[in-house]
Copies of this chain bind each other. A is one copy, B any other.
Amino acid sequence: MNSLSEALLKGDLRALSRTLSLVEDRRGDYLEILEELYRLAGKAKIIGVTGPPGAGKSTLVDRLIRHYHGKGLRVGVVAVDPSSAFSGGAILGDRVRMQDWATVEGVFIRSMATRGHMGGLAAATNDALVVLDAAGFEVILVETVGVGQDEVDIIREADTVLLVLVPGMGDDVQALKAGVMEIADVFVINKADREGVERVERELSQMLALAPDDSPAPPVVKTIATTGEGIDELAAAVEEVHSTERPEALLRRRDLERHRHRFMKLLSERFMDRFLTRCTTEEELERLFEALADREVDPYSLVESVLDMVPWAEVCGSVIRRPGS
């Protein structure tokens, strides 16, 4: 076994941090480590928290850490941080609050930054969940901002997805429809002491009434994260959704969907990685892109001619044989 995995499984937090860095940067023995850890993962309860900026997600996550930590559970947090080369770092000052947990035993918080790597943030974040899960964290909170495809890809890895709304969002509730409404299991109306709470509730229930789904309507919980009000009810709703509300078959379907997405992302990322590392020097690539820019060659037929070289029968054989073997 890789020495990092070994140390991490014994509870060495520095080994855990180093492993997460390798996974995030896609370097070193990260694939070997993930292969080893994957079979040990699958036990944690993964809770995704998403919603627009300013909805109070970080404060809510802070409260949830407190809740689960108070129950004696080991809590891991992955805060997905849209940073950029331009700003050079994290956006959300809110997350400073999370630093308070840095020295608390049984709580581990990790920020993941949007990097430019192929495969994107979603693959790296999903793999970080595998690591934390194998490392024995019983509850893992994943926090993302926004409703882009990346965020949806990340949050769909969660067993339960909380979508956090706030009064006064106006038409932004509409905008949330795109992508993220479908995957929410519990709706949270945070800052529920503010004016406009009835309006958000009404808009939300109107939208939920439109859902074509035949599964039960997701619960709506009101919270005031700054005071902690509603957090116990929220945790109970998460429990409920996990246990009784959803039929076994539905959970299995969702689990399979998740594994499908993860496998596809990984295959695509690793294919591109191998293509870039094995095929081409920077100079060759440069020549290729120049030919494309000058329209000496079109990318469509070039790509097809590349893929014609792949022995699909063998490739397919290796996938289909494997699981049964």
Residues of A that sit less than 8 Å from B by CB: 31, 34-35, 38-39, 41-42, 53-54, 82-87, 91, 114, 118, 120-121, 145-151, 171-172, 174-175, 177-179, 181-182, 207, 210-212, 252, 255-256, 258-260, 262-264, 266-268, 270-272, 274-275, 278-280, 284-293, 295-312, 314-316, 318-320, 322-324
Q: Report yes or no: A311 in contact with B312, Cβ–Cβ below 8 A.
A: no
Across the two chains, which residue of chain B brings its CB closest to A295?
Answer: B39
Q: Contacts A292-B263, A310-B274, A314-B309 given: A320-B54 contact, CB under 8 Å?
A: no
Task: Tell me if B178 and A278 are in contact (CB < 8 A).
Answer: no
Contact status of A323 and B178, CB under 8 A, knowing A86-B211, A267-B306, A318-B306: no
B120 near A304 (CB under 8 angstroms)?
no
Q: Check if B259 sits within 8 Å of A299, measured CB to CB.
A: yes
Residues of B within 8 A of A308 (CB): 318
B residues less than 8 Å from A299 (CB atoms) = 38, 259, 262-263, 266
Contact B84 A298, beta carbon cutoff 8 Å = no
CB proximity of A213 to chain B, nearest CB, Å: 9
- Known interface pairs A148-B149, A323-B287; A266-B306 also in contact (CB < 8 Å): no
Q: A271-B268, A319-B302 are in contact. Are A182 and B53 (CB under 8 A)?
A: no
Give A89's nearest chain B residue, CB to CB: B177
A82 near B312: Cβ-Cβ < 8 Å: no
Q: Are B84 and A118 in contact (CB under 8 A)?
A: no
Chain B: minimal CB distance from A233 (Å): 25
* CA–CA, A266 and B299, complex, Å: 8
Contact of A146 among B146, B207, B263, B288 (CB under 8 A): B146
Task: Say whether B318 contacts A305, CB under 8 Å.
Answer: yes
29 intermolecular pairs with C-beta atoms under 8 Å apart: A41-B295, A53-B175, A83-B178, A85-B182, A86-B181, A86-B210, A87-B210, A121-B149, A148-B149, A149-B149, A149-B150, A150-B150, A256-B289, A256-B290, A259-B299, A260-B289, A262-B299, A266-B299, A268-B272, A270-B304, A274-B312, A278-B312, A279-B312, A279-B319, A288-B320, A302-B323, A309-B310, A310-B310, A311-B311
Is A178 within 8 A of B285, CB to CB? Answer: no
CB contacts (< 8 Å) of A297 on chain B: these are: 322-323
Please tell me if the beta carbons of A307 and B84 are within 8 angstroms of each other in the complex.
Answer: no
Q: Contact between A292 and B179 (Cβ–Cβ < 8 Å)? A: no
A32 to chain B, nearest CB (A): 8
